[in-house]
Amino acid sequence: MPCYLGTVFPDLDIRLLGISGHRNPLFHSSVSFFVLGLLAGRQARFLHILVAGYGVGLAIHLWWDIVYYGDVRWLPGGTIGRLRLGVHGLRCLMTPSSARYAGVGQNKDVGAVDYQADGV
């Protein structure tokens, strides 16, 4: 369900601003993902998993717009808009906070080298 919401959220700009406002830079960005992450704060891990699912859906939507040569309103040329969509899609997946939302890396000792045990 959160993944689905992430895929449909960017198109709410059509309902709110009309078709001429479609691909508004605010709606077609990672801003909503980070706002949800801040609202989740230090709540239950389940809520962070939902936010991470939303981020996956949002990233998919933004990348899909690249495939179909989507331009972002108020940005000159299609290449800059597509580059922006790609970067924001990556931000939904590649940020340390998205890993935190999903519970990845909760154990800080995993992968750490124990130098005293190795005799170094």
CB distance 11 to 28 below 8 Å: no
Kindly state whether residue 40 falls inside one of the protein's structural domains.
Answer: yes
Kindly state whether residue 60 falls inside one of the protein's structural domains.
Answer: yes
Query: What's the total number of domains in the chain?
Result: 1
Residue range 47-69: average pLDDT?
87
34-43 pLDDT tens trace: 888 888 877 7
CA distance 104 to 42: 15
Kindly state whether residue 48 falls inside one of the protein's structural domains.
Answer: yes
Kindly state whether residue 120 falls inside one of the protein's structural domains.
Answer: no
CB distance 51 to 40 below 8 Å: yes
- 11 DSSP assignment: G
61-85 pLDDT tens trace: 888 888 887 777 777 767 887 888 8
Kindly state whether residue 22 falls inside one of the protein's structural domains.
Answer: yes
Burial class (CB in 10 A: 0-12, 13-18, 19+), 8: exposed
CB distance 101 to 52 below 8 Å: yes
Residues of the domain holding 16: 2-104
pLDDT cut 70: percent of the chain above it:
78
Kindly state whether residue 117 falls inside one of the protein's structural domains.
Answer: no
Kindly state whether residue 72 falls inside one of the protein's structural domains.
Answer: yes
